[in-house]
């Protein structure tokens, strides 16, 4: 099914049309008050059952920021950004709240992982949109998953808290502002009433055609998602981290 796609967003939605991940920042702080606005915009996100299953650790200590950057594939933009957060799913505080009133904790790891990641991500993305609306650049850092277990130790995260990714927010270097990246065709990811029986070769190639701007997109995604790629290497790290943070799903 073909959907007409607007080529320009109206002013109220312009921030979405302008999004690109920014990896080059000027060494300048955010304007006074802007960080509070960004955080409060984040905190207005919906939260499943009012559980607030997230925590954000703002990294202001330069030595700690440097160590985290090293653990996250040595990405320089982590060091350069005005602000850097480690975004965590967090069921520890909720458990403490239940126990505070004498309740017995009843949420196990599978559900906690899903809702914790969902809650945290809605807050993070609200912050991204707010920061970009204020003119800043942002970049998520999934490379946190290269060393989730060590990062949890570095931040003294208690059981029930798991680092998901980092979030850089900073002043854009205008000389290194990247172009907007494409997205796969809408018809391959928004469906009506049910999931398609299968993707045809032509449909799959339409995604490659849309995404292969400077180089073949396959070369990009296979380094992450094919056998032996980045994601496969992160699997044992995550297994360790889930055990360490008492979030390993147990048999039901
Ligand atoms: C969960 C998540 C993790 C990401 N991790 C990284 C990262 O470690 N380093 C980086 O430079 N960009 C990272 N990105 C940014 C993606 O590469 C970027 O969103 C994608 O290439 C699309 O480009 P765009 O955001 O400019 O549209 C991440 C994005 C997400 C959503």
Radius of gyration of the chain (CA): 20
Asked whether residue 202 is domain-assigned, the answer is no
pLDDT at 26 over 50: yes
pLDDT at 5 over 70: no
Asked whether residue 170 is domain-assigned, the answer is yes
> By the 8 A CB rule, do 171 and 28 touch?
yes
Confidence at residue 3, expressed as pLDDT on a 0 to 100 scale: 45
This prediction has a pTM of 0.97
Asked whether residue 124 is domain-assigned, the answer is yes
Asked whether residue 164 is domain-assigned, the answer is yes
pLDDT at 29 over 80: yes
Give the whole-number percent of the chain exceeding pLDDT 70.
98
User: What value does the mean pLDDT take over residues 229-241?
Assistant: 98
Pocket of ligand 1 (CB under 6 A): 19-21, 23, 75, 139-143, 165, 181
Asked whether residue 51 is domain-assigned, the answer is yes
pLDDT at 8 over 90: no
- The domain tally of the chain equals 1
User: What value does the mean pLDDT take over residues 71-79?
Assistant: 98
pLDDT at 221 over 70: yes
Alpha carbons 230 and 143: distance in angstroms, whole number: 9
Residue 56's domain comprises 17-181+234-244
Confidence of residue 208 (pLDDT cuts 50, 70, 90): very high
Tell the residue nearest (CA) to atom 18 of ligand 1.
21
Cβ neighbours of residue 15 closer than 8 Å, sequence gap 6 or more: 129, 132, 133
Asked whether residue 107 is domain-assigned, the answer is yes
Tell the residue nearest (CA) to atom 10 of ligand 1.
141
> By the 8 A CB rule, do 142 and 167 touch?
no
Q: Which atom of ligand 1 is nearest to the CA of 164?
A: 1
Alpha carbons 252 and 234: distance in angstroms, whole number: 25
Between the CA of 21 and the centroid of ligand 1 the distance, in Å, is 6
The model's pLDDT over 112-158, given as tens digits with 9 standing for 90+, comes to: 999 999 999 999 999 999 999 999 999 999 999 999 999 999 999 99
Between the alpha carbon of residue 228 and those of residues 145, 177, 224, 225, the distances in Å are 15, 32, 8, 8
What mean pLDDT is reported for the chain?
96
The model's pLDDT over 143-198, given as tens digits with 9 standing for 90+, comes to: 999 999 999 999 999 999 999 999 999 999 999 999 999 999 999 999 999 999 99
Asked whether residue 78 is domain-assigned, the answer is yes
Q: How many CB atoms lie within 10 A of CB 138?
A: 25
Confidence of residue 6 (pLDDT cuts 50, 70, 90): low
Q: Which of 88, 32, 34 is nearest to 59 (CA)?
A: 88
Asked whether residue 87 is domain-assigned, the answer is yes
CATH of the domain at 147: 3.40.109.10
Tell the residue nearest (CA) to atom 29 of ligand 1.
140
């Amino acid at each position: 099914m073909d959907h007409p796609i607007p080529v320009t967003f109206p002013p109220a939605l312009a921030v979405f049309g302008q999004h690109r991940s920014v990896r080059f920042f000027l060494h300048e702080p955010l304007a006074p008050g802007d960080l509070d606005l960004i955080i409060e915009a984040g905190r207005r996100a919906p939260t499943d059952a009012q559980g607030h299953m997230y925590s954000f650790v703002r990294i202001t200590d330069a030595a700690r920021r440097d160590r985290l950057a090293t653990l996250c594939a040595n990405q320089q933009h982590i060091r350069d950004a005005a602000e850097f957060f480690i975004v965590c799913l967090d069921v520890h505080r909720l458990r403490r709240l239940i126990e505070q009133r004498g309740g017995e904790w009843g949420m196990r790891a599978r559900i906690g992982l899903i809702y914790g990641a969902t809650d945290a991500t809605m807050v993070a993305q609200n912050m991204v949109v707010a920061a970009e609306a204020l003119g800043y650049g942002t970049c998520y850092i999934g490379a946190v998953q290269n060393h989730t277990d060590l990062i949890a130790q570095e931040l003294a995260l208690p059981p029930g808290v798991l680092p998901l990714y980092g979030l850089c927010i900073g002043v854009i270097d205008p000389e290194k502002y990247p172009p907007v990246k494409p997205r796969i065709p809408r018809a391959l990811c928004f469906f009506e009433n049910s999931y398609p029986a299968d993707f045809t070769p032509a449909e799959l190639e339409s995604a490659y055609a849309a995404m292969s701007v400077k180089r073949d997109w396959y070369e990009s995604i296979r380094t992450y998602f094919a056998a032996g790629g980045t994601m496969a290497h992160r699997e044992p790290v995550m297994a360790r981290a889930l055990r360490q943070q008492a979030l390993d799903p147990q048999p039901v």
